[in-house]
Amino acid sequence: MAKSILFVCTGNIFRSMVAEYAVRTQFGSVSQYLVESAGIEAKPQTIHPVIRARLIQKGADPSAHVQRTLTQEVIERIDLIIAMGQDHREFIQRRFDRTVPLFNEVSFGRETPILDLHEALPNWEHDLGRAREYVESVVDHIWDAAPALVARLPHFL
């Protein structure tokens, strides 16, 4: 049976979704892993055009993505849950009593979170150019980290 990997962020329309698409692309059409994503507070929202455009540039079309909220049922069937941020890790520990690694920990052995836009740039609305650059840099970081994450997966499963 295939092993399952779940990436978790807040709304499931940015970091965890990008990780899902990046890792799926890294695996190609044939994989021994099921790759999914979810959010701890997934509220109905659309994927921001900047994120969508960056993913399409990289060869992944997120138009079929459906947001999903992290639930006990989802947690129970996943082999490896990877948190994008420290707050997600703490939420999963507190709510579901499950200890999970961070994305950068699995990829590079570093316990550093991938910050959401409002965490990195609290007043991002005042500098939309800088906000766009940050969002694109996060997509690029996650995409570029996917090969390292895939190579290190056996250590975590």
State yes or no: pLDDT of 16 exceeds 80: yes
List, for residues 22-52, the tens digit of each pLDDT value: 999 999 877 789 999 999 997 888 899 999 9
From residue 5, alpha-carbon distances to 24, 48, 133, 137, 153 in Å are 10, 24, 28, 23, 10
**Residues 46-74, mean pLDDT to the nearest whole number:** 95
- Is the whole-model pTM more than 0.85? yes
Q: Which CATH number fits the domain that encloses residue 151?
A: 3.40.50.2300
State yes or no: pLDDT of 118 exceeds 90: yes
Per the CB < 8 A criterion, the answer to whether 51 and 139 are in contact is: yes
Q: What percent of the chain has pLDDT over 90?
A: 88
From residue 67, alpha-carbon distances to 2, 86, 126 in Å are 23, 21, 28
**Residues 104-115, mean pLDDT to the nearest whole number:** 97
Tokens 């992290």 identify what position?
70
- Strand 3-9 to strand 80-83: parallel, antiparallel, or no bridges (unpaired)? parallel
Residues in Cβ contact with 15 at an 8 Å cutoff, skipping those fewer than 6 apart: 7, 9, 84, 85, 103, 114, 116, 138, 142
29 vs 110: CA distance, rounded Å: 29
pLDDT at position 43: 82
State yes or no: pLDDT of 145 exceeds 90: yes
Give me the amino acid identity at 58: K
Give me the amino acid identity at 18: V
Tokens standing for residue 139: 């997509």
Tokens standing for residue 157: 């499963």
92: closest CA among 103, 83, 84?
83
- Sorting pLDDT into bands at 50, 70 and 90, what band is 2? confident
Domains contained in the chain, number: 1
Domain that holds residue 76: 3-156
List, for residues 80-97, the tens digit of each pLDDT value: 999 999 999 999 999 999
pLDDT at position 45: 86
